[in-house]
Amino acid sequence: MSELFDESELPETEGFVAGCSSSFKKDLLKNLEEKLAAISNERACFEELLTTAGLEFPGDLDLIELHKK
Protein backbone atom coordinates (compact mmCIF):
# COMPACT_ATOMS: atom_id res chain seq x y z
CA MET A 1 0.00 0.00 0.00
CA SER A 2 1.15 3.51 -0.72
CA GLU A 3 2.47 5.48 2.21
CA LEU A 4 0.41 8.43 0.94
CA PHE A 5 -2.79 6.97 2.39
CA ASP A 6 -3.77 5.63 5.77
CA GLU A 7 -6.00 2.50 5.68
CA SER A 8 -8.80 4.49 7.32
CA GLU A 9 -8.75 6.94 4.40
CA LEU A 10 -9.26 4.26 1.78
CA PRO A 11 -12.80 3.38 0.72
CA GLU A 12 -14.04 -0.16 1.26
CA THR A 13 -14.03 -2.03 -2.03
CA GLU A 14 -14.62 -5.62 -3.01
CA GLY A 15 -11.73 -7.70 -1.71
CA PHE A 16 -10.50 -4.99 0.62
CA VAL A 17 -11.88 -4.08 4.00
CA ALA A 18 -10.34 -1.02 5.59
CA GLY A 19 -9.13 -1.67 9.11
CA CYS A 20 -9.42 -5.46 9.06
CA SER A 21 -7.76 -7.22 11.96
CA SER A 22 -4.25 -8.56 11.72
CA SER A 23 -5.41 -12.00 12.87
CA PHE A 24 -7.87 -12.09 9.95
CA LYS A 25 -5.03 -11.15 7.60
CA LYS A 26 -2.76 -13.85 9.06
CA ASP A 27 -5.50 -16.47 8.74
CA LEU A 28 -6.22 -15.39 5.18
CA LEU A 29 -2.55 -15.53 4.20
CA LYS A 30 -2.16 -18.94 5.85
CA ASN A 31 -5.18 -20.23 3.94
CA LEU A 32 -3.81 -18.84 0.68
CA GLU A 33 -0.42 -20.49 1.29
CA GLU A 34 -2.11 -23.84 2.02
CA LYS A 35 -4.22 -23.60 -1.16
CA LEU A 36 -1.17 -22.67 -3.24
CA ALA A 37 0.75 -25.66 -1.84
CA ALA A 38 -2.16 -27.96 -2.69
CA ILE A 39 -2.41 -26.57 -6.23
CA SER A 40 1.36 -26.91 -6.71
CA ASN A 41 1.24 -30.51 -5.51
CA GLU A 42 -1.67 -31.34 -7.83
CA ARG A 43 0.16 -29.77 -10.77
CA ALA A 44 3.30 -31.79 -10.04
CA CYS A 45 1.24 -34.99 -9.88
CA PHE A 46 -0.51 -34.11 -13.15
CA GLU A 47 2.77 -33.40 -14.91
CA GLU A 48 4.21 -36.70 -13.66
CA LEU A 49 1.18 -38.60 -14.97
CA LEU A 50 1.36 -36.76 -18.28
CA THR A 51 5.05 -37.63 -18.62
CA THR A 52 4.39 -41.30 -17.82
CA ALA A 53 1.52 -41.40 -20.30
CA GLY A 54 3.72 -39.79 -22.94
CA LEU A 55 6.36 -42.49 -22.46
CA GLU A 56 3.76 -45.26 -22.58
CA PHE A 57 1.85 -43.87 -25.57
CA PRO A 58 4.23 -41.73 -27.64
CA GLY A 59 2.54 -39.76 -30.41
CA ASP A 60 -0.97 -40.21 -28.98
CA LEU A 61 -3.02 -37.26 -30.23
CA ASP A 62 -5.15 -37.04 -27.07
CA LEU A 63 -2.02 -36.75 -24.93
CA ILE A 64 -0.52 -34.18 -27.27
CA GLU A 65 -3.69 -32.07 -26.91
CA LEU A 66 -3.59 -32.37 -23.10
CA HIS A 67 0.06 -31.36 -23.09
CA LYS A 68 -0.77 -28.22 -25.11
CA LYS A 69 -3.21 -27.10 -22.40
In a domain, 1, yes or no: no
2 in a structural domain: no
* pTM exceeds 0.75 for this model: no
In a domain, 59, yes or no: yes
Mutual orientation of helices 22-56 and 61-68 as an angle, nearest 10°? 150
**Full domain range(s) for residue 12:** 7-68
**Could you tell me if residue 11 is inside a domain?**
yes
Q: Spell out the long-range contacts of 8-14 with Cβ–Cβ below 8 A and sequence spacing 24 or more.
A: none
| Per-residue pLDDT in tens (0 to 9) along the chain, 69 residues | 445 555 555 555 555 555 668 889 999 999 999 999 999 999 999 889 988 998 999 999 988 888 787
How many domains is the chain built from? 1
